[in-house]
Amino acid sequence: MAFLSLLFGLGGAQSMIGSVPLDALLIEDTELAANISQYPVEDGTVISDHITREPERLAVSGVVTAAGITMFGAGGRSKLIATKEALRQIHEQRLPVTIVTGMDVYADYAMSNAKMSRTNEGEKLTLDCEFQKIEKAQLKQADIPPEKVSGQKGQGTNGKAGQTAAKGGKVDSSSVPQTNQSTLDEMFSGKIGPNESRTQFGSEVVAT
């Protein structure tokens, strides 16, 4: 009786992969894996102080037959064709699926592999599918301290810019040579030659 219940789902919910019903569930393999850190130390031992949990994995093998449509004839193949098309859509559209078995309900799983086999022993498809649990990120909210958001005016996220209106230093005009303004006039009047000029240092006038 237990074997018939496993095969045909008597007395329990029918096994399904998404919207695909299984006429017989052959294998239900659940894998729980984790990574354990390993750090060798000087005394020859290995320190393992951290465990990283990996997503849960599921492997399902089942059979889909054409007997649900017609017992005899080629018309029952439409169920097999619809099964292959449904699995193709899950793969192409990367849809999350829910797998129902006689032991558990696996919600939010991604199909990582699907193999559909058909032989000449009858109108049936043998399905071997692998799934992995989808782990979604959880958003968290945190309170920001008031002193972080109520900064002084002109401050905050903007950095301090340099001052472009700073006053420059004063230059002593007595130390800079000043050219006599009447040199050009004297050249035209013939008082100095064309190769001569007058430079005034303080109160002294020197002919160059």
Domain assignments of the chain as residue spans, ordered by start: 2-133, 177-208
Domain 2-133 top-level CATH class: mainly beta
Nearby residues of 123 by Cβ (< 8 Å), 6 or more positions away:
65, 66, 67, 76, 77, 80
**Amino acid found at 48:** S
Q: How far apart are CA 30 and CA 189, in angstroms?
A: 113
Q: Give the CA distances from residue 199 to residues 21, 80, 172, 190, 203, in Å, rounded to whole numbers and listed in that order.
A: 109, 110, 17, 17, 10
User: What averages of pLDDT result for each successive group of 10 residues across the chain (208 residues)?
Assistant: 41 84 95 93 91 95 80 68 95 96 94 94 92 91 81 52 58 55 56 53 47
Q: Taken in order 103, 107, 112, 116, is the CA torsion positive or negative? A: positive
Identify the pLDDT of residue 66: 87
Confidence (pTM): 0.58
Residue ranges of the alpha helices (H) in the chain? 2-8, 77-92, 146-149, 183-189
Q: Taken in order 89, 94, 95, 99, is the CA torsion positive or negative? A: positive
